[in-house]
Amino acid sequence: MYFPYIRGKQFDLLALKALLEQDRLSEAIQPIIEPVKQSKTFWTTIDLFQKKQHP
């Protein structure tokens, strides 16, 4: 298991979102996101993690 610590900046969240949409984020990678600001991008990324059932 790999737990990368990611700041919740917009471009970091967009990169995670793109990886999830393309099914390229391995189940062995479980990012820990520090919410810097609770923006719409933050919530859409979290919702996508839940829809894809990614830990």
Q: Where are the domains of the chain?
A: 5-51
Residue 53's pLDDT is: 94
- Is the entire prediction scored with pTM above 0.75? yes
Q: 11 is written with which tokens?
A: 């471009």
- The predicted-structure confidence for 6-52, as pLDDT tens digits, reads as follows 999 999 999 999 999 999 999 999 999 998 888 999 999 999 999 99
CB pairs under 8 A, 24+ apart, for 39-45? 39/10, 41/10, 41/13, 41/14, 41/17, 42/8, 42/13, 44/17, 45/13, 45/14, 45/16, 45/17, 45/20
Checking if the pLDDT of 5 tops 90, the result is yes
